[in-house]
């Protein structure tokens, strides 16, 4: 992509409505534009990153054996009456009437609809286990939408639903989701800690929230500092193995880590004092096992091998895809702007031409652009007729992890400069060496 052709409406001034850094930087970097309270348009740069986050979620769901599908955003109120949630959900639900006066709603989550699909088509244990998910827009009429995409009213969520014959099978699905979520967040460059939580309007007993520690987080959390030493890494887990998934669950959830809703001061105080931590966190996901709550209410039964019909065991699992963008920025920025982790960066490297119009500099930039593209990498080339200072400021603000600076002086010595956004360190290298270095950095990521 060439910056001269790109729609990137960057703001020079800090927008006054933004209270937290991620909101500020998303507006300044021209990623989003508010259209109404808690409702945003995603401009090309923001949308590109959103797609990257979605792709990581899709890839990790596929690895866990879950099937992607898509359900409508507008649903009939009747289904929600069956579960009793049409009234229970309260003011957060956006209720709509169609021209025939039929009551509809904009879906805040989709347990009812997926259960309706299930009961229409599945009646035997032979079709289980089954896990399907979607990445779809949700609407919740939040009392206080704020912090940009962190607490929006319309937001993008991955929501997945598992159907199993027995509680044991459903708990395996629960553990499997925990494993796949750990991997998903790590690929996004985030540490998200599973914490025992409260189930809220979804219902059920077993639930963990995934929290990214950040001062601006809305949840108060309490944990044993040992949990922050854990990392999933690139271990090869067999998602079908009950033991493998249970072992990861045990490793990541046996230490104390809870949100304020489930906090137990007595248990907390039993942790050695130097490991006790109180902090704030951003909830980026949650997993639930709620047994037969919806299947009983809505008549979703399957026949066991002995022919007896039983309500199916269910769980649901959510990732806040659009909120994650804010969480990543909260966790990774400096006073100049965003610093994207390599796994989610919108473009792999920025090319800054210090002397646009200089035949040699232009040719060197074009050659770098072509070589990176040929490797399957996406460069963002700042080919505008602007001063170097302005070009650097834009690159720093939008946060590409690598910048290649090309100028006549370096080219005389056969070199360009490769700069890391994170460390600020630069190295002078021949253009081919820069291309090779970037290929190596992104091997296995891009
Ligand atoms: P919260 O407690 O933050 O209101 P929740 O527990 O009600 O969230 P869930 O039903 O667990 O939300 O939804 C799954 C995920 O969707 C959450 O973990 C969160 O990351 C994301 N999410 C929920 N509400 C919002 C919102 N208003 N804006 C952006 N993302 C949201
Ligand atoms: Mg939640």
Is residue 280 located within the same domain as residue 397?
Answer: no
The DSSP result for 394-443, as a single string, is: HHHHHT-SEEEEE-HHHHHTT-EEEEETTT--EEEE-HHHHHHHHHHHHT
Q: Residue 176's closest CA among 212, 130, 223?
A: 130
3-state secondary structure (DSSP) of residue 110 = coil
323 C-alpha vs ligand 1 centroid, how far in Å?
Answer: 8
**Preceding omega of 129 cis (within 30 degrees of 0):** yes
CA torsion angle for 139, 175, 61, 182 (degrees, to 10)? 80
Ligand 1 nearest-atom number relative to CA 159:
14
- Please report whether residue 375 resides in a domain: yes
Q: Half-sphere exposure (CA, 13 Å, Cβ side) for 123?
A: 3
Residue 131 reports pLDDT greater than 90: yes
- Residue-level pLDDT at 77: 97
Which CATH number characterizes residue 438's domain? Answer: 3.40.50.800
Do 37 and 14 fall into the same domain? Answer: yes
Domain boundary among 304, 337, 370: 337
- Select from 55, 43, 9, 7 the least CA-distant residue to 324: 55
Confidence check: pLDDT of 199 > 80: no
Q: Is residue 342 part of a domain?
A: no
Calculate the average pLDDT of the chain: 96
Ligand nearest to the CA of 201: 1
Q: Which of 89, 217, 261, 286 to mutate to test the pocket of ligand 1 (most atoms within 8 A of CB)?
A: 286
Mean pLDDT to the nearest integer, 370-377:
98
As to burial, measured by CB atoms within 10 angstroms (0-12 exposed, 13-18 middle, 19+ buried), residue 215 is exposed
Whole-number percent of the chain with pLDDT over 90: 96
Print the domain residue range for 418.
Answer: 347-443
Whether the CB of 285 sits within 6 Å of ligand 1: yes
- Indicate whether 353 and 324 sit together in one domain: no
Q: Are the C-beta atoms of residues 67 and 127 closer than 8 Å to each other? A: no
The residue whose CA has the least distance to atom 8 of ligand 1 is: 283
Atom of ligand 1 nearest to the CA of 319: 15
Counting ligands in written order, the one closest to the CA of 38 is: 1
Boundary residue ending a domain (316, 337, 358)? 337
CA angle 306, 309, 313 (to 5 degrees): 105
Q: How far apart are the CA of 322 and the centre of ligand 1, in A?
A: 10
Place of tokens 């193995």: 241
Cα gap 81→83, rounded to integer Å: 5
The residue from 337, 369, 394 where one domain ends is 337
Cβ(152) – ligand 1 distance below 6 Å? yes
Q: How far apart are CA 271 and CA 110, in angstroms?
A: 39
Q: Are residues 239 and 278 in the same domain?
A: yes
Q: What is the pLDDT of residue 130?
A: 98
* Position 200 pLDDT exceeds 80: no
Considering its fold, how many domains does the chain have in total?
A: 2
As given in the structure block, the two tokens for residue 18 are: 């933004």
d(CA 352, CA 29): 17
Please indicate whether residue 318, judged by its CB atom, sits closer than 6 Å to ligand 1.
yes
**In whole angstroms, how far apart are CA 426 and each of 117, 377, 441?**
56, 21, 15
Do 109 and 216 reside in the same domain of the chain? yes
Token pair for 135: 């990445």
Nearest CA to ligand 1 atom 16: 320
In the prediction, which pLDDT does 201 show?
Answer: 66
Out of 37, 323, 325, 330, mutate this one to test ligand 1's pocket (max ligand atoms within 8 Å of CB): namely 323
| Per-residue confidence (pLDDT) for residue 446, from 0 to 100 | 65
Rounded alpha-carbon distances, angstroms, from residue 101 to 90, 91, 249:
20, 20, 48
The reported pLDDT for the residue numbered 445 is 86
Q: Which residues contact 259 (CB under 8 A, 6 or more apart)?
A: 195, 196, 197, 198, 209, 211, 219, 220, 221, 281, 283
- 198 confidence band (pLDDT: 50, 70, 90): confident
146-156 pLDDT tens trace: 999 999 999 99
Query: Alpha helices, DSSP H only, in 107-196?
Result: 111-121, 167-187
Please tell me the distance from the alpha carbon of residue 61 to that of residue 59, in angstroms, as a whole number: 5
Q: Does residue 382 surpass a pLDDT of 70?
A: yes
Check pocket membership of 323 for ligand 1, CB cut-off 6 A: yes
- pLDDT at position 203 is 63
Picking from 54, 86, 83, 85, the residue whose alpha carbon sits closest to that of residue 70 is 54
Do both 216 and 354 map to the same domain? Answer: no
Pocket of ligand 1 contains residue 142 by CB under 6 Å: yes
Asked if 144 and 19 touch (Cβ cutoff 8 Å), the reply is no
Same domain for 374 and 238: no
* Nearest CA residue ID for atom 11, ligand 1: 286
Its pTM stands at 0.96
For residue 202, what pLDDT is reported? 63
- Cβ of 158 closer than 6 Å to ligand 1, yes or no, is no
Expressed in angstroms and rounded, the spacing between residue 319 Cα and the centre of ligand 2 is 9
H or E segment and range at residue 24: helix 21-28
End-to-end CA distance of the chain: 16
Taking the CB of residue 108, how many other CB atoms lie within 10 A of it? 18
- Count of all residues that appear for the chain in the document: 446
208 lines ligand 1 (CB under 6 A): no
Looking at the structure, do residues 306 and 383 belong to the same domain, yes or no?
A: no
> Are 49 and 32 within 8 A, CB to CB?
no
- For 265-319, the pLDDT digits (tens) are 999 999 999 999 999 999 999 999 999 999 999 999 999 999 999 999 999 999 9
Q: What is the pLDDT of residue 276?
A: 98
Confidence class for position 415, pLDDT limits 50, 70, 90: very high
For residue 303, the domain's CATH number is 3.30.930.10
Please provide the DSSP assignment of 269-319 as one string: HTS-GGGEEEEEEEEEEEEEEEETHHHHHHT-EEE-TTS-EEEPEEEEEEE
Judge contact between 385 and 367, C-beta under 8 A.
no
Q: Is residue 431 part of a domain?
A: yes
The ligand 1 atom at the shortest distance from the C-alpha of residue 218 is 3
**From CA 242, how far away is CA 222, in angstroms rounded?**
29
Interval 82-117: pLDDT, tens? 999 999 999 999 999 999 999 999 999 999 999 999
Token pair of 101, please? Answer: 């006066």
Which candidate, 186, 383, 429, places its Cα nearest to that of 284? 186
Pairing status of strand 349-353 against strand 379-382: parallel
Same domain as 87, residue 148: yes
Q: Are strands 402-406 and 349-353 parallel, antiparallel or unpaired?
A: parallel
Q: Is the CB of 405 under 6 A from ligand 1?
A: no
Ligand 1 within 6 A of CB of 174: no
């Amino acid at each position: 992509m060439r910056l001269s052709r790109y729609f990137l409406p960057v703001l020079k001034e800090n927008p006054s409505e933004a209270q937290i850094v991620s909101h500020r930087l998303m507006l300044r970097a021209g990623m989003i534009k508010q259209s109404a309270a808690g409702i945003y348009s995603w401009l090309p740069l923001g949308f590109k990153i959103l797609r990257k986050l979605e792709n990581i979620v899709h890839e990790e769901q596929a690895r866990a054996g879950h099937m992607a599908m898509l359900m409508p955003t507008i649903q009939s109120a009747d289904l929600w009456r069956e579960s009793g949630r049409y009234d229970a959900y309260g003011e957060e639900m956006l209720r709509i009437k169609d021209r025939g006066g039929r009551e509809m709603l904009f879906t805040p989550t989709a347990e009812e609809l997926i259960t309706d699909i299930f009961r229409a088509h599945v009646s035997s244990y032979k079709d289980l286990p089954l896990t399907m998910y979607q990445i779809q827009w949700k609407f919740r009429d939040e009392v206080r939408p704020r912090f940009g995409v962190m607490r929006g009213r319309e937001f993008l969520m991955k929501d997945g639903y598992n159907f199993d014959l027995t509680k044991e099978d459903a708990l395996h699905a629960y553990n499997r989701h925990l494993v796949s979520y750990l991997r998903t967040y790590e690929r996004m460059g985030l540490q998200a800690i599973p914490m025992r939580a409260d189930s809220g309007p979804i219902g059920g007993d077993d639930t963990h929230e995934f929290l990214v520690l950040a001062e601006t987080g809305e949840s108060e959390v309490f944990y044993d500092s040992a949990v922050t030493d854990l990392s999933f890494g690139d271990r090869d887990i067999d998602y079908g193995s009950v033991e493998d998934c249970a072992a990861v669950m045990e490793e990541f959830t046996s230490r104390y880590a809870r949100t304020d809703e489930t906090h137990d001061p007595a248990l907390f105080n039993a942790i050695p004092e130097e490991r006790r931590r109180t902090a704030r966190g951003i909830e980026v996901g949650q997993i639930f096992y709620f047994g037969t709550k919806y299947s009983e209410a809505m008549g979703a039964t399957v026949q066991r091998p002995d022919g007896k019909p039983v309500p199916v065991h269910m769980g649901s699992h959510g990732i806040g895809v659009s909120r994650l963008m804010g969480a990543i920025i909260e966790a990774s920025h400096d006073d100049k702007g965003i610093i994207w982790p390599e796994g989610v960066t919108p473009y792999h490297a920025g090319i800054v031409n210090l002397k646009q119009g200089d035949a040699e500099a232009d040719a060197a930039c074009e050659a770098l652009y072509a070589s990176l593209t040929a490797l399957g990498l996406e460069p963002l080339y700042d080919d505008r007729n602007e001063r170097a200072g302005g070009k650097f400021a834009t690159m720093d603000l939008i946060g590409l992890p690598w910048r290649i600076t090309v100028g006549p002086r370096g080219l005389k010595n056969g070199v360009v400069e490769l700069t890391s956004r994170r460390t600020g360190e630069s190295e002078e290298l021949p253009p081919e060496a820069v291309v090779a270095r970037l290929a190596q950095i992104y091997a296995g990521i891009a």
